């Protein structure tokens, strides 16, 4: 299954999902599916990658462990879930504020597993 189809399936399954994107370690989009603009999903994806990279680096320095499974960010109107696929790729899901993060995390884990199987 191509990446776009996997990401589209996630967005369509998750209540409140506005878009999902797969990016490489430099923040370059590999593929995406979104109801928001291409600019917005790529911008959010690239910048949350910076947060993920900084968090991993700092955790490695301070705790000796950078095995981050996921990060969620809650804002007034949006929620963002960032999940590493492996050392070189990560996925980002943009959600409306009413999305239930517990359900989203479960769906993101399944999506990341499907992406890994394509590598």
CA dihedral 47, 48, 54, 56 (to 10 degrees): -150
Distance from chain centroid for Cα 74: 14
The pLDDT value given to residue 66: 77
End-to-end Cα separation, the chain, in angstroms: 11
Q: How many residues does the chain have?
A: 119
Contact of 83 with 56, CB cutoff 8 Å: no
pLDDT tens per residue, range 61-107: 888 887 888 899 999 999 999 999 998 999 999 999 998 888 888 89
pLDDT of residue 1: 55
């Amino acid at each position: 299954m191509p990446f776009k189809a996997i990401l589209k399936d996630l967005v369509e399954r998750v209540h409140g999902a506005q878009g999902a994107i797969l990016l490489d370690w430099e923040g370059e989009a590999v593929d995406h599916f979104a109801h928001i603009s291409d600019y917005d999903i790529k911008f959010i994806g690239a910048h949350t990658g910076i947060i993920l990279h900084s968090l991993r680096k700092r955790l490695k320095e301070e705790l000796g462990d950078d095995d981050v499974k996921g990060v969620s960010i809650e804002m007034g109107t949006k929620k963002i879930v960032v999940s590493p696929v492996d050392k070189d790729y990560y996925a980002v899901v943009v959600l409306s504020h009413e999305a239930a993060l517990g359900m989203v995390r479960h769906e993101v884990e399944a999506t990341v597993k499907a992406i890994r199987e394509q590598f």
